[in-house]
Amino acid sequence: MTIACGVAVLGSVNTDLVIRNVRLPVAGETILGGEFYRALGGKGANQAVAAARAARVPVAFVAALGDDTLGREALEALRRENLDLRCVQMIRGQASGVALILVDHAGQNLISVASGANSRLCSQHFDQISDAELGGMRVFLASLETPVATVAHGLARARRAGLTTILNPAPANCEILAGELLKTVDVLTPNESEIAILAGAEPLPFDGDTSRIERWALELQERGCGAVVVTLGAEGCLVVADTITRVAAHRVEAVDATAAGDAFSGALAAALAEGLPLLDGVRFASAAAALSVTRRGAQPSLPARSEIEDFLSRPLPPPEFTPRNTA
């Protein structure tokens, strides 16, 4: 196999079954009148598509599908995204992944996932990329809707090959705190809830105070990971690297935030693969995420590079505070 790609993405593929309504139900409640639609999703597929649409470099995708109608439809849709799919496997006897998503009028969501074939993605699938091919790539991106052991293997191989490694710890899974996994991560991209869970704290809505988020990010760095980029939705993001920098968000009217985090991580991978410094990559990724929330659906919402570049030409509010050293 010969893969000449700049980015490798390892992750999940789901079919998203979405109901949009005026608000989210509470436990035991039924709400009538919602609008239903179906779209291809899964964090891995979303991130691979986001990277492919945003990048000037080719993107390879490593994933597992069920040998069923949903899997075949997903594979056909992914082929239209100009991805290298030779490491996407269809697993006989397994159902493809499905996500049930509820979205309210403000774009906030609740998601429940039946992993199906995603739970069968293993190290051997990633190892179809040879060491020589992997060494020719620049960035490796993974999330946590597939087995942590598979993600850990991919991160370790990519790090040994000299790639910049990005881990989007979604859904949050404290298994990544064990062993050496964090030491193989150059950039960690949690949202405010995910970093709270990794810190053993209760996830709470962001109240504008970044002090505890900064503390948690520094604790993760002490465990061995590199930069921590915490996405804060409409409040932008916090970049904790050699300095701490708040990056402001573009103001948009949110319709569906389902793929915002995936748009961010995929576009960040594309930017870093092209050699952009981290902060410039974060600004590029923030524009992609902002665009994505203005459209419904996961992959249908992911912007093309030309859209991101046009969006970046618009005025952006300044960060709320200036960079400062983490020492």
The position carrying tokens 């030779």 is: 86
Residues, the chain: 327
**Verdict on whether the full-model pTM lies above 0.95:** no
Q: Which of 131, 262, 280, 310 is catalytic?
A: 262
Q: Which CATH fold topology does 7-325 show? A: UDP-N-acetylmuramoyl-L-alanine:D-glutamate ligase (3.40.1190)
CA distance 272 to 291: 19
Q: In whole angstroms, what is the distance from residue 128 CA to residue 241 CA? A: 33
- Residue 103 identity: V
Token pair listed for 279: 């902060």
Please give the chain's pLDDT, 327 residues, in tens.
Answer: 445 569 999 999 999 999 999 999 999 999 998 899 898 999 999 999 999 999 998 999 999 999 999 999 999 999 999 899 999 999 999 999 999 999 898 878 898 989 999 999 999 999 999 999 999 999 999 999 999 999 999 999 999 999 999 999 999 999 999 999 999 999 999 999 999 999 999 888 888 889 999 999 999 999 999 999 999 998 999 999 999 999 988 889 888 888 999 999 999 999 999 999 999 999 999 999 999 999 988 898 999 999 999 999 877 665 454 556 665
In which residue are the tokens 């490593």 written?
62
Domain segments of the chain as ranges: 7-325
Angle between helical axes of 43-54 and 278-292 (0-180°, round to 10): 110
User: Is 127 noted as a catalytic residue in this protein?
Assistant: no
Of the candidates 48, 21, 45, the one whose C-alpha atom is nearest the C-alpha of residue 99 is 45
